[in-house]
Amino acid sequence: MFDNTKLSPPKPPPEDESWMATFADMVTLILVFFILLLSMSKLDTAKYEEVSAGMTKSLSDRKVETPIEDLRQTIRDNMKGTKLDDAIAIGKDSAGVSLEMAAASFYELASADFKPEAMDTLIQLADTIKAERFDGFQIAVEGHTDDTPIRTEKYPSNWELSAARAARVIRLFEDQGINPSRMRAVGLADTAPKVPNRGPYGDPLPQNQEINRRVVVRLQPR
């Protein structure tokens, strides 16, 4: 009987490792190729620093714009080119935005009627304020006069004149589509002058009186 328990299993053929030499040569050639590329290239340090400095300045100049600043800047931009943009002083404080309009530029003498050239400026202002993103701002319009008395059938005193001028702005804003619930008008007559109406001896100061004749639109977040 043939006993096969003592037979050894056949040995596997030796692995062919000749491909490794070819692979190693290829890797070496690729490495040499990139070393040559790097040695022939030259970093433009000056250009790099210029671009880097520009990006740094651009990022540092960016500011977070508040709703008040957004409104002020939008009004300023939209007023450019209107007939009376130079007759409106645009200010800003922690409470909101203020627009001071010289009465002599916007109103007929001793009247609450607008001058024809005032209309496009006021309509542009209304169109800016009624933008949806500014719905959160309340609108208060103040009428101011100087201390020169007025006595007419329509305006018995400066109280009526100042209130009528403020109300006239409100009516125009409402006609342009601004919700009246956002607005209020008040006449202050000559009770809140910016500068003295008269000199130390009681003589009128015409330039100061003209400054005091104004309408102020205040835009404040609710």
Show me where the domains of the chain are located. 18-61, 67-221
Q: How confident is the model at residue 1 (pLDDT cuts 50, 70, 90)?
A: very low
Question: What pLDDT, on the 0 to 100 scale, is given for residue 10?
Answer: 57
pLDDT, mean of residues 51-80: 74
* Residues 6 or more apart whose Cβ sits within 8 Å of residue 217: 98, 99, 101, 125, 139, 140, 141, 142, 169
Q: What is the pLDDT of residue 192?
A: 97
- At 145 the three-state DSSP class reads coil
DSSP state of 65: P
Average pLDDT, the chain: 85
Whether residue 167 contacts residue 199, with contact meaning beta carbons closer than 8 Å, is answered with no
Compute the distance between CA of residue 144 and CA of residue 176 in angstroms, rounded to an integer.
24
For the segment 12-16, the average pLDDT, to the nearest whole number, is 55
C-beta of residue 220 within 8 angstroms of C-beta of residue 95: yes
Chain segment 23-43, per-residue pLDDT in tens: 667 777 787 677 767 666 655
What pLDDT is stored for residue 8 in this prediction? 52
**Residue 83: predicted pLDDT:** 87
pLDDT of 110 strictly over 90: yes
Q: What is the pLDDT of residue 31?
A: 74
pLDDT at 212 over 90: yes
Q: Please calculate the CA angle 123-81-65 and round it to the nearest 5 degrees.
A: 80
Q: Residue 121: pLDDT above 50? A: yes
CATH classification of 67-221, choosing from 3.30.1330.60, 1.10.1380.10, 3.40.50.1240, 2.120.10.30?
3.30.1330.60
pLDDT 10s digits, 82-94: 889 899 999 988 7
- Measure the CA angle with vertex 105, ends 99 and 111; round to 5°: 100
Residues 6+ positions from 144 with CB-CB distance below 8 Å: 103, 162, 188, 189, 190, 192, 193, 212, 213, 214, 215, 216
Return the higher-pLDDT residue of 163 and 40.
163
User: Distances from the Cα of 36 to the Cαs of 25, 27, 44, 45, in angstroms?
Assistant: 17, 14, 18, 20
Pairing relationship of beta strands 183-187 and 96-102 according to DSSP bridges: unpaired
